[in-house]
Amino acid sequence: MNLLKRLWGRTTLDGEKLAASDDLQEYAQIHLLAEFVETRPLHSTADQQRWNRVLPRPYQETIQLFQKQGWLEANTLDQYRVTPAGRPFVQRYRERLEAEKAAILPQVRQALEARDTSEALEIRRRYEARFPLGKADWTGPEPQLNHSALTRRILFLDHWLLEGLSLETVEWLKLYAAEQHLWGAQWRLSPQEIPAHVEQELATSGLDPVEATFWKAQQLILYVENHDTWQRCKGGDHVRRMEIVGPDDEHTCEHCRQFRGQEFLVARVPELPHRDCTSIVGCRCRYEPVLEVDDEDGL
């Protein structure tokens, strides 16, 4: 133990090298360091165990090693923070992550343009597998089994939400929606990313082009997700009722508000989105399966 302690006491880490390394064990250390940019306590025991699986040394040892390098400091409340000496490595690592994100997005977009949603999801999985804990910080939860099938439904959607739009605009919107759905993330575009024809066709909605395209795309995603929820509830024996849920804010219209929190038998549930919704961002209502508490008790 003493010998180990001495050896380990002398360990010097090369932050630049670790931040740029292709070896998961190496860059995982800077990834961990980066978690302490904002002052915070150590990770939960469960998370420490997950980190143990990817770090070259156990989590606790790694933290102590960071402190020895002068990269991390603890305050009297046992909260940790990256020091000015550690910051350049975190910065270098973040730039690297940004570059990787910028490189992967077009690859997924290309697969979606080819309508190959399985391939698009494969690219996402390969990208996320490179993260120490298997997940990027900007993507959605672990995709469900039918995730790429739902993304595909967006690309082939035929719905009144798209009425009155040119084919060109419809295709553009579907791609924007499918991309967000595939990643499980939401983002607004910059005005330069929105083609003139899309801008013109969506300009009537009372929103600027960035907001108009964002909300229209959200509508497509929400429709596909709602439809899927409804189909699964209808096809199964476990759910008899669905609740209509949704935000209650300045964009919630009176029509949608009257349905909020109401439960319906699956066969009688109103269709979403509400056609009579008058919100400028569109109907944001969603179906929530109602779990039957009595059935659970019987088990």
CA 268 to chain centre: 32
**Residue 256 Cβ, how far from Zn ion at the closest point, in Å?**
3
Q: Which is nearer to Zn ion, 128 or 225 (CB)?
A: 225
User: 198, 283, 286, 287: which one contacts Zn ion (CB under 5 A)?
Assistant: 283
- Chain position carrying tokens 């133990």: 1
User: 274, 282, 286, 287: which one contacts Zn ion (CB under 5 A)?
Assistant: 274
**Residue 290 Cβ, how far from Zn ion at the closest point, in Å?**
18
Sign of CA dihedral 135, 140, 145, 147: negative
Question: Is 256 an interacting residue with respect to Zn ion (CB under 5 A)?
Answer: yes
CA gap 34, 37 in Å, rounded? 6
Q: Are 180 and 187 in contact (CB under 8 A)?
A: yes
Residues 25-54 that bind Zn ion (CB under 5 A): none
Question: Is 222 an interacting residue with respect to Zn ion (CB under 5 A)?
Answer: no
Give me the helices (H) in the chain, please: 2-9, 15-20, 24-34, 45-54, 59-69, 87-113, 117-129, 147-155, 167-183, 196-202, 209-235, 254-257, 293-298
Question: Is 281 an interacting residue with respect to Zn ion (CB under 5 A)?
Answer: no
Length of the chain: 299
User: 201, 285, 286, 287: which one contacts Zn ion (CB under 5 A)?
Assistant: 285
Residues 7-26 that bind Zn ion (CB under 5 A): none
Q: Which two tokens stand for residue 149?
A: 């099938």
**Residue 270 Cβ, how far from Zn ion at the closest point, in Å?**
9
Q: Which is nearer to Zn ion, 232 or 255 (CB)?
A: 255
Question: Is 161 an interacting residue with respect to Zn ion (CB under 5 A)?
Answer: no
Helix (H) or strand (E) holding 72: strand 72-74
Stretch that binds Zn ion, among 21-29, 76-84, 198-206, 276-284 (CB under 5 A): 276-284
Stretch that binds Zn ion, among 168-176, 205-213, 223-231, 269-277 (CB under 5 A): 269-277
Contact set with Zn ion (CB under 5 A): 256, 274, 277, 283, 285
